[in-house]
Amino acid sequence: MADKDSKKGEAKNPAIAKTLNKVEERLDMGERSDSVAEGLANVAKASELLSSVWTLPPGQLLRFHHDTKVAELDGDSTPGFDGNKEDAERFIGISSAEIARYQRLMYANGVKGSRRRLLIVLQGMDASGKGGIVRHVFSQGDPMGMHYHGFGAPKGEELDHDYLWRIKRELPKNGWIAIFDRSQYEDVVMPHVHRTYPEEVWRPRYDEINRFELQLVSDGCAIIKIFLVVSKEEQKRHFLSRLDDPTKYWKFDPSDLEARERWDDYMDAWQEVFVKTSTEQAPWYLVPADNRWYSRAVVSELLRNTLKNMNMIWPPLEVDADEMRRRLNDM
């Protein structure tokens, strides 16, 4: 089953196409710049121009506020983006290339001792598109400097430790990006919904997680927390497609239907998570995800801007270049 496209058949947005053309021109200028500093300035300008395809920034539109109700959000909506699937895919292609550029820049600084790094937390109900986001948004990234980890139910050695133990093991190293498919928040939501632990065990975890994330941010680790909001109707479409396509049988698990039966309980539990843990240092973004092209474009925008706003430059050479050339010529 192809990705759902609620705007299929509509013409491309000419204003978005014009802006993307200008972005590509600016990036070409960056490639032809006379200096590294000028090249970085052109790249930053191109990124700002790229953001102008949004009528309002996703970071502003989709950030959780305490009057936001996750159960009332429309998974089929595309806030801030007036284009269609084709526009979004072109945007993602350009943005992904810039993410890869900034990723290499952060990695280079990490090698030289910078504490800058990035953690991306992806959450959502089953079939909300977490895996697709990783494949599309990071399609041009360098595997050296990126770490992906999916968290399931704790087992084995994990059960012998505090719930944050396995999380800490997978955190990004200096200069790296880590992507978590599910996270420490499962250790709040699951016992909340299924009562696997007493409330006095899991409820204090809100404050523990807030302190944990504040420590990370204070130490140079940026955090982007995303919850993909998929509708029950769209989830059903994806579940049925897994049963109809032999290449997707492996994705189907009966436990997905058990979670679906308790949809309202999960929404209530996640609502409390957002209220308790969307902080100034590590806010939550609630992203409509029925249209996969839209949610991927949003994540790409949030990620690229986070990296750009680190204001990194290439590390300087720490040796005498002329002396190194002389030594090389003598070898």
Q: 230 lies in a domain?
A: yes
Same-domain check for residues 37 and 124: no
Q: Which residues contact 110 (CB under 8 A, 6 or more apart)?
A: 116, 117, 145, 173, 174, 175, 176
Q: 35 lies in a domain?
A: yes
Q: 180 lies in a domain?
A: yes
Q: What is the pLDDT of residue 2?
A: 44
DSSP string, 186-244: HHHHHHHHH--S-HHHHTTHHHHHHHHHHHHHHTTEEEEEEEEE--HHHHHHHHHHHHH
**Tens digits of residue pLDDT in 168-185:** 999 999 999 999 999 999
Same-domain check for residues 115 and 188: yes
Q: What is the pLDDT of residue 10?
A: 54
Q: In this structure, what token pair is assigned to residue 242?
A: 């897994």
Q: What is the pLDDT of residue 1?
A: 43
Same-domain check for residues 258 and 150: yes
Same-domain check for residues 46 and 192: no
Q: Give the residue among 316, 274, 305 at the shortest CA–CA distance from 63.
A: 274
Same-domain check for residues 38 and 122: no
Q: What is the pLDDT of residue 139?
A: 75
Residue 180, beta-bridge partner list:
121, 149
For Cα atoms 230, 95, 248, give the angle at the middle one, nearest 5 degrees. 40
Q: In this structure, what token pair is assigned to residue 100?
A: 């890869």
Same-domain check for residues 123 and 222: yes
**Tens digits of residue pLDDT in 123-145:** 999 999 998 888 888 777 788 89
Q: 213 lies in a domain?
A: yes
Q: 5 lies in a domain?
A: no
CATH of the domain at 259: 3.40.50.300
Same-domain check for residues 29 and 60: no
Tell me the whole-structure pTM to 2 decimals: 0.93
Q: What is the pLDDT of residue 140?
A: 75
Q: What is the pLDDT of residue 6?
A: 45
Same-domain check for residues 25 and 113: no
Same-domain check for residues 195 and 96: yes
Q: Give the residue among 106, 181, 196 at the shortest CA–CA distance from 137.
A: 181
Q: 323 lies in a domain?
A: no
Looking at the structure of the chain, the number of domains it has is 2
Q: 147 lies in a domain?
A: yes
Strands annotated E in the chain? 117-124, 146-150, 177-181, 221-229, 284-288
Residue 63 DSSP code: B
Q: What is the pLDDT of residue 106?
A: 97
Give CA separation, 315 vs 30, 114, 308, in Å. Answer: 18, 10, 16
Q: What is the pLDDT of residue 9?
A: 45
Distance CA 35, CA 53 (A): 28
From first to last of its 331 residues, what are the pLDDT tens digits of the chain? 445 544 444 557 999 999 999 999 999 888 888 898 888 888 899 999 999 999 999 999 999 999 999 999 999 999 999 999 999 999 999 999 999 999 999 999 999 999 999 999 999 999 999 988 888 887 777 888 999 999 999 999 999 999 999 999 999 999 999 999 999 999 999 999 999 999 999 999 999 999 999 999 999 999 999 999 999 999 999 999 999 999 988 988 888 899 999 999 999 999 999 999 999 999 999 999 999 999 999 999 999 999 999 999 999 999 999 999 999 999 9
CB atoms within 10 A of CB 38: 13
Domain range for 166 is: 55-311
Distance CA 200, CA 112 (A): 44
Contact 143, 100 (CB under 8 A): no
Same-domain check for residues 260 and 301: yes
Same-domain check for residues 295 and 263: yes
Q: At what angle are helices 292-308 and 130-137 packed, to 10 degrees?
A: 50
Q: 320 lies in a domain?
A: no
Same-domain check for residues 28 and 70: no
Q: What is the pLDDT of residue 11?
A: 55
